[in-house]
Amino acid sequence: MKTIPVSELRQRVADVIDDVQASDEPTVVMQRSRRAAYIVNPDRYERDQAELSVLRRAVFIAEVREAEAEYRAGEARPFDDIEQLLDELRR
């Protein structure tokens, strides 16, 4: 992954954007020796976001199916109120 100091980015922003658009590799912008931002090709960003959405949905569906199986097996715990449930989920 490429890195560029923010001071250099200010001087070469058009070149850096051209490089990112021509590549699938993101560029990390460094500020005070720490990551400050990522510059990513828009096609890659959109692909990554779509993939992340699919993965989140798959995890959600798996968790729902697991909860349904627990409920059918009589393993689901009853909760008196929503706060009790939320406390349990936070643990």
Same structural domain, 80 and 49 = yes
Determine the pLDDT at residue 74.
Answer: 87
Cβ distance 67 to 76 under 8 Å? yes
- The pTM of the whole model exceeds 0.75: no
Q: Rounded CA gap, 59 and 57, in Å?
A: 5
pLDDT in tens, 13-47: 999 999 999 998 999 999 999 999 999 999 999 99
Cβ distance 28 to 48 under 8 Å? no
Residues belonging to the chain: 91
User: Residue 75: which domain range?
Assistant: 44-90
Same structural domain, 80 and 56 = yes
Same structural domain, 35 and 54 = no
Q: What percent of the chain has pLDDT over 90?
A: 73
Same structural domain, 56 and 74 = yes
Same structural domain, 48 and 82 = yes
Number of domains in the chain: 2
Q: Rounded CA gap, 23 and 40, in Å?
A: 9
Same structural domain, 59 and 85 = yes
